[in-house]
Amino acid sequence: MAQAQLSQTLNSLSQSATHKPRYEYDLVIVGGGIIGLTLASALKDAGLKVLLIEAKVESTAVAKGQAYAVHMLSALIYQGIGVWDKMLPQIATYHSVRLSDADYPDVLEFQTADLGTQDLGYVAEHQALLKPLQEFIQQCPNVTYLCPAEVVNIQYQQDIVAIDIKVGGEIRTVRSLLVVAADGARSPIRQAAGIKTHGWKYWQSCIVAYVKPEKPHNNTAYEKFWSSGPFAILPLPMNRCRIVWTAPHEEAKALCNLDDEQFLKELQERYGNQMGKLELLGERFIFQVQLMQSDRYALHRLALVGDAAHNCHPVGGQGLNLGIRDAAALAQVLQEAHSQNKDLGNIQILKRYERWRQRENLTILGLTDLLDRMFSNNFLPVVIVRRIGLRILQRVPIVKILVLKLMIGLLGRTPKLAQH
């Protein structure tokens, strides 16, 4: 945000504080990443006054070197918001997903014909989602976007929340009916509110890298299960691929420490020869995998969304998609409450969101955990069971379709935004 705009916003906040209204905003969203921006965008027509706060400057946020599987339900939500057409030219579609178990010859393939759709899903780099959302927010007159800005203190009161915000070296206090924490897995807001979490860190880490194969990727996504952990290949524009290589911590660290030539050699063995030789693009990086579920998604005048509420194993590319569904669900609950002149920060209102999303997220967290544990081992009885399972999925279409719908979000409660 330009300095003039920051000054104008500070003046506005200062004038608001001078006049001391009961509150200046209906809700304040802390965290201007993809999930926070999605929530603010989803509220564009809700008649609510929204303040969105992001600590990092926009260019830094956009440059984050990530990529995500974007599931069908997430695409429908972005279509409902009205931003999907801006995202689509920058992302890749995939028309099939091939699942395989180590060297077992049978391959389970999900295809568009299974759902009768044109695509099965999409793969987007971080900036391909974030930048259109940032631009969209600038066109929403009901949203004030502060970036960079930092929340330094929050006081939850009976009727309002008082939030101290540091902008440009100055601190101003704003009042709101509700605070939404979209500030990541280590959410300071969740921790300060005393909301406990349960879960564990896995024995695995993930190596993430970008490669350019010699042959076309044919818009196919791969999930290859090995005893050390899942290995995913996601297609990207310009015939690039993103790989997510899960391995025990020490093995993953050793792989990351290899020089490019040796790393590519190891990668090629795991990747297979279906796309020819590989060229490594840019740096590779590593992160530890964890599962986390918050005991509460809501307290008095506080709601959690995205990674602030939950984390899961990256198998199946669920993480970001769960957060997008959180944002759409919370937007719907708040819009309905506002239309009925209800207090947005009332715990009974926020419980509607919590009941909706907490159980659905727990199902997916459990499924990803089960998949990782079932496939990341060589225990013979488990190997036999999982390969029987793959054969059942291959030969019983109704079961195959149910599993596919569950993985892409089409079995749970669908937000109204996705029902257009």
Helix (H, G, I), strand (E, B) or coil at 21: coil
What domains sit in the chain, N to C, each tagged with a CATH number?
3-89+123-198+291-419 (3.50.50.60)
Residue 109 half-sphere exposure toward CB, CA atoms < 13 A:
10
CB 291 within 8 A of CB 311: yes
Which residues contact residue 148 at a Cβ distance below 8 angstroms, ignoring those fewer than 6 apart? 54, 55, 56, 57, 167
pLDDT at residue 26, rounded to an integer:
97
- Token pair for 307: 């990674």
CA distance 290 to 181: 20
What Cα–Cα distance (Å) separates residue 386 from each residue in 100, 145, 318, 364, 399?
Answer: 11, 48, 21, 18, 15
By percentage, how much of the chain surpasses pLDDT 70?
A: 93
pLDDT at residue 20, rounded to an integer:
54
- Token pair for 350: 């926020």
Which residues contact residue 340 at a Cβ distance below 8 angstroms, ignoring those fewer than 6 apart? none
pLDDT at residue 179, rounded to an integer:
98
First to last CA, the chain: 33
Which residues contact residue 5 at a Cβ distance below 8 angstroms, ignoring those fewer than 6 apart? none
* pTM reported for the whole predicted model: 0.93
Residue 147 half-sphere exposure toward CB, CA atoms < 13 A:
23
- Token pair for 151: 């929340």
Mean pLDDT of the chain: 91
Polymer length in residues for the chain: 420
Which residue stretches of 67-111 are H helix?
Answer: 72-81, 84-87
- Residues paired with residue 204 on neighbouring β-strands, in sequence order: 248
Reading the chain (420 residues) residue by residue, the pLDDT tens digits are: 444 455 555 555 555 445 556 789 999 999 999 999 999 999 999 999 999 999 987 666 565 668 999 999 999 999 999 999 999 999 999 999 999 998 888 899 999 999 999 999 999 999 999 999 999 999 999 999 999 999 999 999 999 999 999 998 899 999 999 999 999 999 999 999 999 999 999 999 999 999 999 999 999 999 999 999 999 999 999 999 999 999 999 999 999 999 999 999 999 988 888 889 999 998 888 999 999 999 999 999 999 999 999 999 999 899 999 999 999 999 999 999 999 999 999 999 999 999 999 999 999 999 999 999 999 988 999 999 999 999 999 899 999 999 999 988 888 899 999 987
Q: Residue 68, by phi and psi: left (phi above 0), alpha (psi -120 to 50) or beta?
A: beta
pLDDT at residue 1, rounded to an integer:
45
Which residues contact residue 282 at a Cβ distance below 8 angstroms, ignoring those fewer than 6 apart? 65, 209, 210
- Token pair for 2: 């330009």
What is the DSSP code (8-state) at residue 183?
S
pLDDT at residue 2, rounded to an integer:
46
Lay out the sheet containing 92-94: strands in order across. 67-70, 121-125, 92-94
| Spatial CA neighbour of 217 closest among 197, 234, 200, 195 | 234
pLDDT at residue 22, rounded to an integer:
79
- φ/ψ (deg, to 5) at 390: -60, -40
